[in-house]
């Protein structure tokens, strides 16, 4: 008799640690009497690894959980999905706050992936694929909607991301200047709070070498974030599911950190001081070129 072990996918999700999880059941059939349990286990492991070898190759909207909170995760690769996202999630829904992050090539300083997030959704826009398909006019419409509206954009160390975007889109420096595009930078805010000694009851720990995003998330939210994929090959297509999870989590946490820092600042120093601190923590591309 033969033993054949099969897996049947029941459902999948992203867990609180940003890991993609399959729930499976095993289907056992007849087996060979002379086949060892080690061989059976080895074959089973190969099948599991095959199941998990997932790539990001199409537009998708799915529900994922990060830190026990559900988010719609939108993957945008096609022109249609790009326009649909702008219309539904940027124009119709009128978000007040959006976190923004950029992944770039290891060499060449070009943006290849743009991540956006609110407290309800996160979106990955594949710049590398879409730049071949969209006209400069279409990109200008997108960036004007993003930077030229009443949306408050939040990032971390975003001066570097401005460089990536402006190196990729030659029209962007002028557009940003015209619409006064700026981003609230949590790194700038954190550094200023430490300098002004306004960090009472704000950080659980202040690292000697300053805050990176992972250290800030740990200090403010007590969340552990792995940065192991930060220097992975973001220009290689298709992206892996692990890269997708990393990119989404990296931008989702920015909103959570901002909300918690703002809440603690208001409690400690009041609304007026908090508003002034936030106002002084914006960065723009002009700061880099002046």
Q: How many CB atoms neighbour CB 66 within 10 A?
A: 22
Q: Which residue has the higher pLDDT, 36 or 35?
A: 36
Q: Which residue has the higher pLDDT, 250 or 48?
A: 250
Per-residue pLDDT of 261-276, as tens digits, reads 999 999 999 999 999 9
Per-residue pLDDT of 66-115, as tens digits, reads 999 999 999 999 999 999 999 999 999 999 999 999 999 877 789 999 99
Question: Does residue 2 surpass a pLDDT of 80?
Answer: no
Residue 26 to residues 3, 6, 7, 161: CA-CA distances in angstroms?
12, 6, 5, 46
Per-residue pLDDT of 139-157, as tens digits, reads 999 999 999 989 999 999 9
Distance CA 245, CA 15 (A): 10
pLDDT score for 193: 94
Per-residue pLDDT of 205-224, as tens digits, reads 898 888 999 999 999 999 99
Looking only at the bridges linking them, the beta strands covering 121-125 and 69-76 are: parallel
pLDDT score for 38: 63
Q: Would you tell me which CATH number, out of the four given (3.90.1150.10, 3.30.420.10, 2.60.40.10, 2.70.70.10), belongs to the domain 60-289?
A: 3.30.420.10
pLDDT score for 198: 82
Q: Read off the tokens for 35.
A: 């086949």
Distance CA 146, CA 95 (A): 10
Report the candidate in 197, 144, 192 with the shortest Cα–Cα distance to residue 171. Answer: 144
Q: For the chain, what percentages of helix, strand and coil (3-state, to nearest 5) are there?
A: 45, 25, 35
Question: Does residue 12 surpass a pLDDT of 80?
Answer: no
Question: Could you state, in order of their start, the residue ranges of all structural domains in the chain?
Answer: 5-53, 60-289
Per-residue pLDDT of 47-57, as tens digits, reads 544 444 589 98
- Predicted structure pTM score: 0.82
């Amino acid at each position: 008799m033969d033993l054949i072990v099969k897996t049947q996918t029941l459902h999948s999700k992203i867990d609180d640690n940003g890991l993609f999880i399959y729930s499976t059941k095993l289907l056992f059939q007849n087996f060979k009497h002379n086949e060892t349990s080690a061989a059976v286990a080895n074959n089973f492991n190969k099948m599991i690894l095959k199941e998990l070898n997932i790539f990001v190759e199409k537009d998708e909207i799915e529900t994922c959980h990060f830190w026990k909170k559900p988010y719609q995760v939108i993957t945008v690769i096609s022109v249609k999905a790009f326009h649909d996202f702008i219309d539904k999630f940027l124009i119709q829904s009128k978000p007040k706050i959006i976190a923004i992050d950029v992944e770039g090539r290891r060499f060449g300083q070009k943006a290849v992936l743009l991540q956006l997030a609110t407290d309800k959704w996160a979106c990955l826009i594949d710049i590398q694929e879409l730049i071949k398909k969209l006209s400069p006019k279409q990109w200008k419409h997108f960036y004007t909607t993003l930077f030229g509206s009443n949306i408050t954009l939040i990032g971390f160390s975003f001066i570097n991301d401005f460089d990536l975007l402006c190196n990729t889109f030659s029209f962007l420096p002028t557009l940003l200047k015209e619409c006064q595009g700026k981003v609230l930078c949590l790194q700038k805010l954190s550094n200023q709070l430490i300098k002004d000694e306004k960090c009472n009851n704000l950080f659980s720990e202040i690292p000697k070498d300053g805050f990176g995003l992972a250290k800030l998330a740990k200090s403010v939210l007590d969340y552990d974030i792995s940065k192991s994929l930060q220097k992975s090959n973001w220009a290689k297509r298709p992206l892996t599911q692990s890269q997708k999870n990393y990119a989404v989590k990296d931008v989702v946490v920015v909103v959570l950190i901002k909300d918690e820092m703002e809440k603690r600042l208001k409690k400690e120093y009041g609304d007026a001081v908090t508003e002034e601190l936030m106002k002084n923590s914006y960065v723009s591309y002009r700061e880099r070129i002046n």
